[in-house]
Amino acid sequence: MAMDLQQRLDLLTTASRFDLACACKYPDEPGRQRGPDGRWIYPAVLPGGRKVMLLKVLQTNACANDCTYCPFNSNRHIPRCSLRPEELAKTFMDLLKADRVSGLFLSSGVQGGPDRTMDRMLQTVEILRRRFGFKGYIHLKVIPGASRAAIEQAVRMATRVSVNIEAPTEQHLARLSSRKRFYQDIIAAMQAISDLRGSLNPRCQQTTQFVVGAAGETDKQIVTATARLYERFRMERVYFSAYQAPDPSPKGIHDLFGQEIYQADTQIAKGVIREHRLYQADFLIRRYGFSRDEIPFDQDGNLSLEQDPKTLWANLHPEFFPVPINKAQRWQLLRVPGIGLKGADRIIAARCQGPFRTIEDLARLGIRLKAARPYIRLD
């Protein structure tokens, strides 16, 4: 039965929730949550920290690919539909005029090959930019295997482009998809984006996303691959999305080799905690000055689900503590559990007025004293 515009929007915006692109949060916090209307619109955090509402939608959920983790893969029998570029652009402008969104996140299943798919997405963006004069935020997914010409247009017009890497190595990706090629389709697209944005649109950002827990990969493999992506392609952000089985089995989630990943009753919680730990490790490397080798993994190469990596590192390095709060440099303060980026800056600013007399003085600076107390001293 033919679906009307409303039904197609319902389907294609619901489908887009699997791509985070903007979140480092638990399920009840912005990023996995819907907007106030409970449909189509998702809260997101833009680079720089601005919170916005995005229309997050697929151009189509029809797809010729067979990615095992994806609810829209070609083997699944689900209702399929598409939005024409004109109707998607017009829908977005109506929502923009009604002040319900300020940006667009556009992805798509692959229909008719990477370039034909990109062509429809690029048409949508072109209508918004050229015909409607929209100058705001557009995040455009690049389809793996897209030509350099298509990537060039995407970089010219979008605020942010991303091609999802999904897995840390060629071997892991091969377990997830028989069609996507790690180097030729994904790494080459990232390289093209990195090359082009400097000359065409220096403000265009590049991000990517891993699906976590579908291919038997370890956290260490993901953290290592993430560090390389930042170094090689100057990625603004790398996102991690916990694998969620399209049809969770009452017997739990198993990977492609029958290995149990999560028990049924705890599968989402554990998957999301793993995702959260990866974000914490990512922050330690990007913002706190930790090297990749300092991130503590267990003997299987995974982050602890019970303890955050910064606290675990502190407990493994008693020789570093207690840190003298009145003398420590910023990088030393940042190693203390309970002291974040703002907290370290506030401590340094407050010390200009005179030394701290008691540990309790730190509480008024927003330091989590309960966490920090065992790792600091006064003199």
Residue 52 · residue 238 · CB < 8 Å: no
Question: Whole-angstrom Cα distance, residue 313 to residue 336?
Answer: 10
Q: Which of the stretches 68-76, 196-204, 295-303, 360-368 binds ligand SF4 when contact is defined by CB under 6 A?
A: 68-76
Q: Which of the stretches 37-45, 64-72, 167-175, 338-346 binds ligand SF4 when contact is defined by CB under 6 A?
A: 64-72
Question: Whole-angstrom Cα distance, residue 78 to residue 33?
Answer: 23
Q: Which of 65, 111, 244, 267 binds ligand SF4 (CB under 6 A)?
A: 65
Sign of CA dihedral 65, 67, 69, 74: positive
- Shortest spacing between CB 202 and ligand SF4, in angstroms: 29
CA 68 vs. chain centroid, Å, equals 20
Taking the least distance from each CB to ligand SF4, the nearer of 110 and 347 is 110
Cα dist. 350→310, 327, 343, 375 in Å? 24, 12, 10, 19
Binding mask 105-144 for ligand SF4 (x = CB under 6 A): ----xx----------------------------------
Q: Determine, following the binding rule CB under 6 A, whether residue 146 of this chain makes contact with ligand SF4.
A: no
DSSP string, 59-73: SB---S---TT-TT-
Taking the least distance from each CB to ligand SF4, the nearer of 209 and 311 is 209
From 58, 61, 21, 16, select the one nearest 34 (Cα to Cα): 16
- Shortest spacing between CB 162 and ligand SF4, in angstroms: 12
Q: For 339-343, which contacts have Cβ atoms below 8 Å and span 24 or more sequence positions?
A: 339/367, 339/368, 339/372, 341/287, 341/288, 342/366, 343/367
- Shortest spacing between CB 352 and ligand SF4, in angstroms: 52
- Shortest spacing between CB 179 and ligand SF4, in angstroms: 8
Taking the least distance from each CB to ligand SF4, the nearer of 162 and 311 is 162
Number of residues this chain uses to bind ligand SF4 (CB under 6 A): 8
* DSSP 8-state code for residue 183: I
Taking the least distance from each CB to ligand SF4, the nearer of 63 and 222 is 63
Q: Which of 22, 54, 57, 67 binds ligand SF4 (CB under 6 A)?
A: 67
